[in-house]
Structure 1
Amino acid sequence: MRSERVVGAVLLVIAGGLWWLRGSPEEVGIAAGEEVRGPELPAVGREGAEEPQTIELRLGALASIAGTITDPQGKPVAGAQVCASTMSERLTQDERRRRNCVTSERDGHYRIAGLFGVRHEVIAGAPTFKPTRYERGEGAGRREWIDLRPAMEALGVDIVLEAGGVEVRGVVKDLSGGAIEGAVVQDWRQFSTLTGPEGEFSMWVQPGEIGLSATADGYTMGSDGGVAPGHAYEILLTPEAVLVGKVVRAGGGEPLEGVRVLGNGPGGGSTMTDAQGQFRIDRLLPGPYKPRAESDEVYGLAEEQVMLGLGETSEPVVIAAHPAFFVEGRVVIEGGGSCDTGWVALRDAAGGRWAQAQVEVDGVARLRGIRAGEYKVDVRCQGHVPEDTYEDVKITDRSVSGLAWKVSRGQAIRGVVVDARGEPVAKVRVVAAPQQNASDPRVQKTSGNAKTAASGRFEVTGLLSGRYLLEVQAWEPPRATPPKPLEVTVSKGQDLDGVRIELPATGEVRGSVRDAEGRPVRGASAALSGGSSRYGSSVADDGTFRIEYVGAGEYRVRAHRGFEDLRAPGTSDDDVQGEKIEVRSDAVTTVDLVVASASGKITGVVRDEHGSPVADAFVEAARESERAGAAGNAGSLETRWSFGKKPNLTDADGRFSLSDLSEGKHTLRAHRRGGGEALVEHVALGSEVTLTIAAAGRVAGTVSLRGGAAPEEFSVRMFDETSGYRRQDQFYRTGGAWSFAEVPAGTFKLQVSTGAGAAETTVTVAAGEELAGVRVELTPKVTVRGTVVDLDGKPVPGMAVQVTGSGATASAKDGKANVTDESGRFEVHNAPAGPVRVIVIPNGRGDYDFTSASALLSAEAPTVELPPIPIAPRRVEPNGASGDLGYTLRDVEPGADPLQRRWIVAHVRPGGPAARAGVVVGDEIVSVDGHDVRGANNHLFFPLTRVAANTAVTLGLARGASVAVTAVPR
């Protein structure tokens, strides 16, 4: 989550009339590993709390953090920048993103004042050093934050800077190329700086792959990534969209003050209403937004999504807020103490509602805007074991508070991670994954993870007794980890100590990615695949790349750019790309990749339905795959996944120019403010294209339960499988009415779901059409029962089953009936009727593979018994690499019936395993190792063919032949 955060911040002043609330600051010194504690919350009753019992955050006295910044030798660092940030859900997004930074004094001392009494992280940086986060404690007691209280003075928050930082430089501009002064630029650790008069900035970061983001008043967030040092960062910001409106009491129309409003759209955003009930959420991306209002007393949704365009401010949106309640409780640790990291979730299966809140100071979680209903409780506390079940929370006509949800400390696994030389490895994560227990398949399972300290030591806590697989994940930087997890056993009532995990010996890969003329390919990345490991690196501005800590072995190195595979000159998408290399321990391997030119251009103009130019329309392009059997909508889908690409906007005359395009045909998509889009396929490089955005339409209708009653709350999902266009919305107390504005022409699936029922239908919308009166009657949900069996028909225990369809997913949240018992039986409640996917997942690490089978559920009876679902054993070790059989299959056409999926060979690689066995293009595979993979059994195809290298697979073909294909290393 940290990599997605923006700079946390807080308000620095409080109105003069509130000064009397401040009181005297409370000074609290923090020793190493010591918890900072403040006043206990007042006791509250279980029900009937008319007023919130916690102090209003914005009325309390402000807090501060102070400490000293030193270098590794203990010398004070003057002029270091120190910033405090928070992600507390109690603050709005605007409050979180404001910058709270100071500069250390000559003696290294700093003090950050004006902070709200919530959890904060503190990070410091200075020239020649890496940005370093404050942390204290070891093992399970290690913390990277400070819990502040009102009026608290947190002292002794000392940071020792890490040596080895590198300097990066860049510039922040708007889309016209104008410099943006005063923009906040930050890395994933939340270390930040400000841009100068020409938009320029400089900051010291850790070496390697670094992504930077920037924000500024009047703009949305922009980003750029590259290799530090050496990459010249250019961050482009687009004009902000703004959502404005008012929250009023439903029925009376009185404005409501102090209600949180969330944007609910691609740019997120949150704020609080003022005394007139008005709200304003800025710095939003273009797209659909459905603002939601919630507090301890009310909940409401806007009636219809708001389509915001580039730089557009919405018309005032009125949100009618209905009576609602809050649920407050404390997550307590058995034997004493409160949880300080975790969350509490409420799920109302009958109404389809869900809410979640972070655990705040003293283990308190407060969930707001809760509607009447009966809720299942799910509790998570880092490093602790939750109860098997918790008492349901029933909300009728008043809030519930004073609850206590107990967790236990559980058991621990402790050990050390070292490299091949026996040296400790810091900052890698050890993950403990439970293994299946066939004798008791529905027993509660726990998992955990922990990061290694500088000494390489780790402590994974909150575990129950049982068998676990220990895996190492290493991302800072990426490095080779053991190909197989370590199996350990935690005995009942005893911790497991003395575990030693040794990482494999490694080498280094250096290389370049250039086109045939020797020019670096901008925005490219290099990826290594082989064995059980994957490695990658962005390519530097000069075309070079470097990948460290690569495990010894054979690999294939390929070049990518975003979702696009970069091909060698004169090759096709069906050809094997990249170069084979062998990495040796303690050695450097070099490789130079030559790819087809990526300097093509496409120009054109975007017009509306009347032929007038459209200014400020976004235009995106994606190279179409030439792979045999490829589905036709891949290019359209990729244009919708263009996150991180440089924005291309039309000018005042509607013109655009797309550059740095790879050889081949492209799909172009244009979309504009106010809705509407255009799609043109098969565009050649050098073309001049006109994209015509047809008038957007509108779809509206009603939803009813059987018998005619309207559901109080329901969701509607609308998507076009051909173009990839999709929208989803939630509706509350609309009398069953729903609508989508600014809809492009197309044929859409509509999936409607609520707690009591679900339905799916299809509508076709013409350009500019106002399609009203679409009526959807919900089919009651059903209980699904069945048996999971192996390929010989024997029951398989310990598999978790989910059922998904019509926009709804059902699994057991009220017990473990959805986990197969010793006879392979399962039961899933509130499953949607109609076409569904039955997903079968190992409940912990086991011997069987993931399976997703298609089924058609009838709603004629409240309970549906499925035929036995066969699943295949796992044929590749966990984290192991599957081999290559030497063929590719024809893609599924959009909208095809999954029960009719056929496995038709689209391409056979010359000289590969399938070619040597006699497989030809057009062959249909009907069985694998004697098991039928047609119709209801087609879900077995991938698990049966996902095999390790040097494994033989017998393919039965529709033409009557049976061939043995031996997989080779991929």
Structure 2
Amino acid sequence: MRTRLALALALVVAAALLWLHGRATPGAPPVAARPAPARLAVARPPARVLGSAPVVASSAPDGKVWLSGHVRDEQGQPVEGARVRALHGRQDEPVEGARLPALEESEATTDASGAFDVAVSPGPVSGEVEAAGFVTAELSVRDSARETAEVTLVRTCALVGRVELATTGAPVAGARVLAVLTDSHDLDSLPTVTTDAHGRFRIEGLAPGRYKPWASTPGRLGQASGSVSLRAGTESEPVVIRLLGVHRVRGAIRKIPPGQPCTNGYVELRASDLHVPSLRAAADPGGRVDLEAIPAGTYSVHVSCSHNVVQASQPLLVARDLDGVVFDFDLDVPLHMDLEARARGHAHGTVVDTRGEPVPDIGFSLRCGSTESTGDTDETGAFRALVPFEPCQVQVRWGDEALTVLEPRAPVSFTPESIREPLRVVVDASLFAFLSGTVSQAGAAVAGARVMAVCDGRDADSAFDGETDAGGQFRVRVRRAGACWMRAWRDEHDSMAAGPVEPDGSLALELQAPGGLRGAVSRPGGAPASLFTVELSPLLHGVELQPRRYETFFGSDGRWQLEGIGPGDYRITAGYGEESTRQEVHVAPGGQGELHLTLEPPEAEGDEAEGDEAEGDEAEASPPAASPPAARPE
């Protein structure tokens, strides 16, 4: 299933390219309105005077406090002229339905030392910090009266290259190019540019990360042969995107019953059995849609009008260009109304152990009669849950382990008055143990490295993780049972698996240089796969961890390449539609491995025919077996 999710990225990108071809973005579900922020025009306090007397600042406006802070770049240098936008003045009331104060907005600009002062309401503050040449960063403070804001801005990157035809190598002018992060399916606001007369493009203002750009013109689609890792303030080497021929689907939305026109309409195609949006095109005022670059395949059809979405009962097979397709919009969905009126409020509090230490990242639930409110504590052990005003039993869990709640033992009866007071939950945390140690690279401590531990288990539920501090030290909470193995990574550098170590033990982990993998993927009949995904999941003591890398490859030769892979053991999965294969592989420090993979067809269910293989060699991206189309040409 994860392979299918990754495959959907290729199709989503094509949809985003179409979406950006001179159209507004329609069809988004309605968002609940909220009061517009009220801007607070308050002058910055006068410069503070240093001397033998204490530093004194001017008084804040009535009802406000000064939120102070600094903005620095990724190297710790001050950023002058950064714009700080703070939203404040709204706090969730504990009782549902209580009137909330209007949200206010205040602004400030950093001085030469990167410092700022902004007048805000006491309490939580959110917002953003931006400066030219830097990625916009989040501003978040839990208590403006007691905390300061320390914000780090990271310099932006640039991606450059050219687009050409795969058949002739001729440059393609006017192609739309999108910068896609390989580890994200969020395509709502992709940085996009158009190639010049020589097929060249430049995308600026990117956040650091690994990108794999895509490009399209009507009837053609392509991507870079490999991904590009961009670090803060850098520009990529020129990448080449080669366009291959795909299909074009044109048609119109027809409302049933006929009458009012389809407003804010769009058609979205999704690859069979995937839950990630794939291809989408907006409808013009007459309901006409043009999906300009669709790889061959079988898709479910989703049609939207006036923010309502319906799905066709049968999929659509795309094996050639289609024109005059009718997309029926038949809205016959009964609305469900919960008529049960129960007064509710937000319970809040902290989970601590017997020593009074907060227990972060722990699951809790409040079981109140027939309802249950669940969640996780934050990094301070705090929790918040919407509950009815009736007796509720407190339960705390860590993974599949239930912790003994020492206080309160009896159900808690919430009322509109008592729910305003924080609830203190004390648990027996004796099953916890901690692994500690350091992460370094070439003898230097590494801050912000991810550390993973697997203890006395052979499944993913036995994996625990943490992160190193500024001194490269870590402390990972694990179950107090059996031996543990550990692995660390930062960016594209990994440590080899280390262990065993007993709970409450310590390890020193050393990051090593990354390597790479490349090879080819073939379909069951031996033909090169033209559209497929490669997913790479780290292995730690036989346990498969969350995928580290998954990339989509689109081309005519079935070749694939992954660079910047930390050393260690991995499970690699390749997939195309319902066809997939898995294999374990070891990556040596700084090494390059070659791996050829052959996809296996899905197991037949009952008497169903495996119709893929007969058609496997016909097209550049031949489709899986298809059901009769629901949306059909007229």
For the aligned pair, the TM-score class normalised by the smaller chain equals 0.5 to 0.7
**Preserved CA contact (<8 Å) 2:531 2:552:** yes
**Which residue is 1:314 aligned to?**
236
Whole-angstrom CA distance in 2 between matches of 1:705 and 1:693: 37
Of 401, 404, 412, which residue of structure 2 is paired with 1:576? 404
Q: In the TM superposition, what are the counterparts of 1:360-399 in structure 2 within 5 Å?
A: 362=285, 363=287, 365-371=289-295, 377-381=301-305, 382-383=307-308, 385=310, 387-389=312-314, 392=317, 395-396=320-321
Whole-angstrom CA distance in 2 between matches of 1:507 and 1:347: 39
**Preserved CA contact (<8 Å) 2:219 2:293:** yes
Whole-angstrom CA distance in 2 between matches of 1:513 and 1:211: 25
Letter in 2 for 1:694: Q
Q: In the TM superposition, what are the counterparts of 1:628-707 in structure 2 within 5 Å?
A: 630-631=457-458, 638-639=465-466, 656-657=472-473, 670-673=488-491, 675-677=493-495, 690-707=508-525
Structure 1 pair 510–357 and aligned structure 2 pair: CA distance change class (3 A): closer
**Preserved CA contact (<8 Å) 1:374 1:395:** no
Whole-angstrom CA distance in 2 between matches of 1:361 and 1:166: 49
Q: When the two structures are aligned, how many residues end up with a matched partner?
A: 530
Q: Does residue 1:534 correspond to 2:456, yes or no?
A: no
**Which residue is 1:619 aligned to?**
449
Whole-angstrom CA distance in 1 between matches of 2:216 and 2:502: 48
Whole-angstrom CA distance in 2 between matches of 1:544 and 1:613: 35
Structure 1 pair 166–271 and aligned structure 2 pair: CA distance change class (3 A): farther
Of 544, 547, 553, which residue of structure 1 is paired with 2:391? 553
Letter in 1 for 2:597: V
1:46-71: CA deviations, max 9, x gaps?
xxxxxx9999749xxxxxxxxxxxxx
1:746-786: CA deviations, max 9, x gaps?
333332222474333333333333222x2222333454239
Task: Give the alignment's Cα RMSD to 1 decimal.
Answer: 5.4
Of 600, 606, 618, which residue of structure 2 is paired with 1:785? 606
1:539-592: CA deviations, max 9, x gaps?
798x8877665441222165x9xxx78xxxxxx976424633412343415532
Whole-angstrom CA distance in 1 between matches of 2:359 and 2:572: 41
Letter in 1 for 2:489: H
Cα offset, 1:272, TM superposition: 0.9
Cα offset, 1:320, TM superposition: 1.3
Whole-angstrom CA distance in 1 between matches of 2:439 and 2:333: 64
**Preserved CA contact (<8 Å) 2:301 2:312:** no
Q: Does residue 1:265 correspond to 2:182, yes or no?
A: yes
Structure with max Cα Rg = 1
Whole-angstrom CA distance in 2 between matches of 1:613 and 1:548: 46
**Which residue is 2:255 aligned to?**
333
**Which residue is 2:536 aligned to?**
718
Whole-angstrom CA distance in 2 between matches of 1:309 and 1:374: 38
Structure 1 pair 315–524 and aligned structure 2 pair: CA distance change class (3 A): same
Q: In the TM superposition, what are the counterparts of 1:425-444 in structure 2 within 5 Å?
A: 432=336
**Which residue is 2:580 aligned to?**
758
Cα offset, 1:511, TM superposition: 4.0
Q: Normalising to structure 1: TM-score of the pair?
A: 0.45
**Which residue is 1:196 aligned to?**
109
**Preserved CA contact (<8 Å) 2:496 2:567:** no
Whole-angstrom CA distance in 2 between matches of 1:539 and 1:740: 35
Whole-angstrom CA distance in 2 between matches of 1:811 and 1:577: 53
Whole-angstrom CA distance in 2 between matches of 1:229 and 1:300: 49
Cα offset, 1:530, TM superposition: 1.3
Whole-angstrom CA distance in 1 between matches of 2:18 and 2:352: 64
Unaligned runs of 5+ residues in structure 1 are: 1-51, 59-85, 91-118, 129-164, 414-431, 433-469, 472-500, 566-571, 650-654, 788-809, 818-970
Structure 1 pair 201–648 and aligned structure 2 pair: CA distance change class (3 A): farther
Letter in 2 for 1:592: R
SS class of match (1:785):
coil
Whole-angstrom CA distance in 2 between matches of 1:299 and 1:745: 34
SS class of match (1:752):
strand
Cα offset, 1:504, TM superposition: 1.8
Structure 1 pair 512–384 and aligned structure 2 pair: CA distance change class (3 A): closer
**Preserved CA contact (<8 Å) 1:325 1:368:** yes
Cα offset, 1:621, TM superposition: 4.5
1:273-305: CA deviations, max 9, x gaps?
34142222533243x432221232431111122
Unaligned runs of 5+ residues in structure 2 are: 1-16, 41-62, 91-102, 609-622
**Preserved CA contact (<8 Å) 1:620 1:668:** no
SS class of match (2:520):
strand
Structure 1 pair 385–509 and aligned structure 2 pair: CA distance change class (3 A): closer
Whole-angstrom CA distance in 2 between matches of 1:388 and 1:348: 14
**Preserved CA contact (<8 Å) 1:301 1:732:** yes
Whole-angstrom CA distance in 1 between matches of 2:64 and 2:280: 38
**Preserved CA contact (<8 Å) 2:345 2:386:** yes
Bigger relative contact order, structure 1 or 2 (CA pairs below 8 A, ≥6 apart): 2
**Preserved CA contact (<8 Å) 1:619 1:669:** no
Q: In the TM superposition, what are the counterparts of 1:257-296 in structure 2 within 5 Å?
A: 257-266=174-183, 269-275=190-196, 276=198, 277-286=200-209, 288-296=210-218
**Aligned residues with identical type, % of pairs:** 20
Whole-angstrom CA distance in 2 between matches of 1:215 and 1:346: 36
**Preserved CA contact (<8 Å) 2:193 2:202:** yes
Whole-angstrom CA distance in 2 between matches of 1:359 and 1:577: 54
**Preserved CA contact (<8 Å) 1:293 1:299:** yes
Structure 1 pair 526–708 and aligned structure 2 pair: CA distance change class (3 A): closer
Whole-angstrom CA distance in 2 between matches of 1:530 and 1:290: 46
Letter in 2 for 1:780: P
**Which residue is 2:54 aligned to?**
none
